[in-house]
């Protein structure tokens, strides 16, 4: 019995790129566009709380980040997200190839 397989062009051009682009978007681009990747500093003189303390008693919805909408993000944030995704992709390629 012959086992069908996909040609290398399909793997690299379609399957691999979908996984990588989805991962980069979820882990790098979306948090930057949403503003949740960098924790904001607490105002001077206020007590700092952990993420668990800040959401205690507010329900599960409070722990979820706001929905990402790249159309509403400022242009500078889009540029930072694109640059960060490019850098992370470059580092991933260097690790795999080197």
pTM: 0.57
Query: In this structure, is residue 45 part of a structural domain?
Result: no
Residue 48 lies in a domain: no
**Within a domain: residue 24?**
yes
Q: Is residue 95 part of a domain?
A: yes
SS3 of 15-76:
HHHHHHHHHHHHHHHHHHHHCCCCCCCCCCCCCCCCHHHHHCCCCHHHHCCCCCCCCCCCHH
**How many domains are there within the chain?**
1
46, part of any domain = no
Confidence of residue 3 (pLDDT cuts 50, 70, 90): low
Tens of pLDDT, residues 23-81: 999 999 999 998 887 666 666 766 555 544 444 444 444 444 445 556 788 899 999 99
Mean pLDDT of the chain: 74
Q: What is the pLDDT of residues 8-26, one digit of tens each?
A: 777 767 777 888 889 999 9
Domain region containing 95: 11-36+61-98
Does residue 56 sit within a domain?
no
In a domain, 49, yes or no: no
């Amino acid at each position: 019995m012959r086992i069908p397989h996909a040609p290398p062009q399909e793997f690299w051009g379609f399957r691999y790129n979908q996984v990588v682009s989805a991962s980069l978007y979820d882990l790098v681009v979306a948090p930057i566009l949403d503003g949740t990747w960098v924790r904001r500093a607490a105002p001077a003189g206020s007590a700092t709380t952990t993420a668990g303390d800040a959401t205690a008693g507010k329900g599960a919805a409070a722990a979820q980040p706001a929905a990402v909408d790249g159309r509403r993000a400022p242009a500078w944030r889009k540029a930072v997200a694109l640059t960060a995704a490019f850098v992370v992709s470059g580092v991933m390629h260097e690790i795999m190839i080197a």
